Amino acid sequence: MSNSQSPDSSVPVKQKKKRNKTLHSSGLPIPIPMSTLLHSYTPPSVSLRLRPRRSRYLRPLRFQFGRMGNSMVRAQAATEVTEAATSEGLKKGIAEFYDESSGVWESVWGDHMHHGFYEPDTAASLSDHRPAQIRMIEEALSFAGVSDDPMKKPKTIVDVGCGIGGSSRYLAKKYGAQCRGITLSPIQAQRAQELAAAEGLADKVSFQVADALQQPFPDGEFDLVWSMESGEHMPDKMKFVSELARVAAPGATIIIVTWCHRDLSPSEDSLKPDEIALLNKICDAYYLPAWCSASDYVNIAKSLSLENIKTADWSDNVAPFWPAVIRSAFTWQGFTSLLRSGWKTIRGALVMPLMIEGYKKNLIKFAVITCTKPN
Amino acid sequence: MRLLTHNMLSCNIKGVTNGFPLKLEADKWVTKEVDLNADFLRGIFPKIEWSALLAAARVLGFAELPEQADASMLSSDDFLRRFHHALLELHVEEGALVCPETGRKFPINKGIPNMLLHEDEV
């Protein structure tokens, strides 16, 4: 599968309904060439179709705690086969996406591949973002009640979906702890290791290529189990959280910060069709298997007998992030890096306005979910 | 990959009950000096599976660890130095980790173990 595809003038280009060429619905000004790209470009072939779109939301990611119709359960059984057949494809897609795009991200944004945490309704300037990304880590730790006390602070940490190791290095430094990071991307693992060595942390952090759904660690290994914006990639949320719980030591804290869709109301069986359509477009570009809600995570944690389960909606605190990422893509450095990177990265960039749309519609939520492993 | 990491990795192939410790095969390894931190060593000692560390160190040609170890040895500078060297200063760059039950090899490339399972191992 090739990583980069360029527009071929002999391939008919789908003309989508033209909206305002110079102003995207998100309100951001877009240079005309890019807007044309957004509205009328279709790649010659889709590089990775993960599964038939219809089936994605037939699979219920709400779990049977209380009300759920029999029809949902039947639909789930029908789509199990499709999912199993493409989980390898998903992992490969994720690995390739990050192999290709991590360098671009790092050159523009640095070593934290997650949202910044901002005061609501503030405009953020370029220099605000790195501190905001640090603040995101600190807010998550604070929300979970992780102690700084030398006797109680975590000594061993696992960073699940570690990217190029930003969180791992930060947490290892903060607590003087040993940190193990896992990622599907060999290039990320390598880069994470290089950065650790450069910061003198090679004896504190190490990185492995591994699957979050099959963590290569024995039970009960870690005092702090950390998943910062990796939950979106997990095709099986139950397995994902089960593994987090398995590798957590008795009394350990588990912290999940992730994109979710809004909670469904009691009268709803699923998201509305236009909501599903929007999420599908985002899923394809970012190699996300399917979305669930923060309530789903809470229910899973309860089913695993995890304790002190807490969740919060931080959507208002991350609102400045995507506009900032889009602006950075239009800087000279951002744009040229994108062009050099490859089709997967470019497609990811093109889909960014959809993230803003999703947040504005209160469809996409940025959630923190924390809990502890029983003693 | 340091031996401290090796001491925390296990094979998670479906159905495997005894996936730890992974047997170490090393084609290329180096020594990287690290400052000794006695407090750290004393803190991590209870979490270390000693026989796994012993065996892995021997694969790398370091035979100076005692067969058995207990916490009382942590007051000896000599013991701390050997423990420190084995745990933190030996780095496997190329090699493999072998599942004790199935014989499946997980490669180590450029110091990074790849623990991804195949479809049929899940």
Residue B70, domain CATH: 2.20.25.10
Residue A272: its pLDDT value, please? 95
Residue A87: its pLDDT value, please? 79
Structure tokens at A317: 């605190």
Structure tokens at A249: 């030591």
Which residue among B5, B12, B119 sits closest to A88, beta carbon to beta carbon? B119
Gyration radius from chain B CA atoms: 15
Which chain A residues are within 8 Å of B112, Cβ to Cβ? 186, 189-190, 193, 207-209
A218 to B5: CB separation less than 8 angstroms, yes or no: no
Give the residue numbers spanning the domain of B97. Answer: 3-121
Output the average pLDDT for chain B: 95
Mutate to test the interface with A, among B4, B9, B20 (most CBs of A within 10 A): B9
Report d(CA A216, CA A206) in Å as an integer: 13
- Chain A segment 65-124 residues within 8 A of B by beta carbon are 87-88, 91
Q: Give the A:B interface size as CB pairs under 8 Å.
A: 71
Residue of A nearest to B87 (CA): A203
Q: What percent of chain A has pLDDT over 70?
A: 77
B63 by Cβ neighbours in 10 Å (0-12 / 13-18 / 19+) ranks as: exposed
Q: What is the DSSP letter of A144?
A: H
User: pLDDT at residue A37 above 70?
Assistant: no
B112 to A87: CB separation less than 8 angstroms, yes or no: no
Report d(CA A299, CA A305) in Å as an integer: 10
User: pLDDT at residue A99 above 80?
Assistant: yes
Q: How far is B4 from chain A (nearest CA, A)?
A: 9
Interface check for A280 against chain B (CB to CB < 8 A): the answer is no
pLDDT tens column, A196-230: 999 999 999 999 999 999 999 999 999 999 999 99
Q: pTM surpassing 0.90?
A: no
A206 to B11: CB separation less than 8 angstroms, yes or no: no
pLDDT tens column, B104-113: 999 999 999 9
> Could you give the number of structural domains in chain B?
1
Q: How far is A180 from chain B (nearest CA, A)?
A: 8
Place of tokens 């991200």: A105
Residue B92: its pLDDT value, please? 98
Residue A27: its pLDDT value, please? 42
Residue A75: its pLDDT value, please? 35
Which residue among A203, A210, A211 sits closest to B88, beta carbon to beta carbon? A203
Which residues face A372 on adjacent strands?
A253, A307
Q: Which of A140, A213, A224 is nearest to A178 (CA)?
A: A224
pLDDT tens column, B76-96: 999 999 999 999 999 999 999
More confident residue, A247 or B121: A247
Q: How far is B68 from chain A (nearest CA, A)?
A: 22
Report d(CA A216, CA A332) in Å as an integer: 41
B2 to A221: CB separation less than 8 angstroms, yes or no: no
Q: What's the average model confidence in pLDDT over A116-143?
A: 90
Which residue among B11, B32, B115 sits closest to A209, beta carbon to beta carbon? B115
Residue A44: its pLDDT value, please? 33
Residue A59: its pLDDT value, please? 37
Q: What's the average model confidence in pLDDT over A89-108?
A: 83
Task: Decide if A184 contacts A202 (C-beta within 8 A).
Answer: no
User: pLDDT at residue B38 above 70?
Assistant: yes
Structure tokens at B37: 């931190």
- Give DSSP secondary structure letters for B32-58: ------HHHHHHHGGG--HHHHHHHHH
Mutate to test the interface with A, among B105, B108, B112 (most CBs of A within 10 A): B112
B12 to A186: CB separation less than 8 angstroms, yes or no: no
Residue A322: its pLDDT value, please? 81
Question: In angstroms, how far is CA A34 from the centroid of its own chain?
Answer: 25
Residue A242: its pLDDT value, please? 98
Residue B86: its pLDDT value, please? 98
Q: How far is A156 from chain B (nearest CA, A)?
A: 10
Output the average pLDDT for chain A: 79
Residue A92: its pLDDT value, please? 87
Which residues face A149 on adjacent strands?
none
More confident residue, B56 or A63: B56
Mutate to test the interface with A, among B12, B20, B119 (most CBs of A within 10 A): B12
More confident residue, B36 or A7: B36
How much is the ipTM here? Answer: 0.91
Task: Decide if A279 contacts A293 (C-beta within 8 A).
Answer: no
3-class SS shares of chain B: helix, strand, coil, % to 5: 35, 20, 40
Q: Which of A250, A317, A241, A331 is nearest to A61 (CA)?
A: A241
Q: How far is A194 from chain B (nearest CA, A)?
A: 11
Which chain B residues are within 8 Å of A217, Cβ to Cβ? 8-10
Which residue among B2, B10, B43 sits closest to A216, beta carbon to beta carbon? B10
Residue A259: its pLDDT value, please? 93
pLDDT tens column, A38-62: 333 333 333 333 333 333 433 334 4
Report d(CA B55, CA B27) in Å as an integer: 16
Which chain B residues are within 8 Å of A184, Cβ to Cβ? 116
Residue B6: its pLDDT value, please? 97
Q: How far is A114 from chain B (nearest CA, A)?
A: 23
Residue A77: its pLDDT value, please? 35
pLDDT tens column, A336-361: 887 777 887 888 888 888 988 999 99
User: pLDDT at residue A66 above 50?
Assistant: no
User: pLDDT at residue B33 above 50?
Assistant: yes
A209 to B47: CB separation less than 8 angstroms, yes or no: no
pLDDT tens column, A290-342: 889 999 999 999 999 999 999 999 999 998 888 888 887 777 777 788 777 78
Structure tokens at A175: 């607590």
